[in-house]
Amino acid sequence: MPDHPHIKLIAQNRKARFDYFIDTEYEAGISLKGTEVKSLRLGKANLKDAYARIRNGEVFVHQLHISECPFTHYGNHQANRPRKLLLHKYEIKRLLGKTQEKGFTLIPLNLYFKKGKVKITIALAKGKQKYDKREAIRKRDEKREMARERKGS
Domain ranges of the chain: 7-128
Residue 3's pLDDT is: 64
CB proximity list for 144: less than 8 A, separation 6 or greater: none
Q: Where are the beta strands (DSSP E) in the chain?
A: 7-12, 20-30, 45-46, 51-55, 58-62, 65-66, 83-86, 104-114, 117-127
**CA 59 to CA 116: how far, in whole Å?**
22
Q: Say how many Å lie between the first and final Cα of the chain, rounded.
A: 34
The correct answer on CATH 2.40.280.10 for the domain covering 7-128 is yes
* Cβ contact 51:62 at 8 Å: yes
**CA 145 to CA 26: how far, in whole Å?**
34
What is the pLDDT tens value at each position of the chain, 153 positions in all? 556 677 888 888 888 888 888 888 999 999 888 888 888 888 888 888 888 999 998 999 999 888 887 777 776 777 778 889 999 999 998 888 888 877 788 999 999 999 888 999 999 988 877 777 788 888 888 888 888 888 876
List 28's β-bridge partners, or say none.
Answer: 120
Q: Do the bridges between strand 104-114 and strand 7-12 make them parallel or antiparallel, or are there none, so unpaired?
A: antiparallel
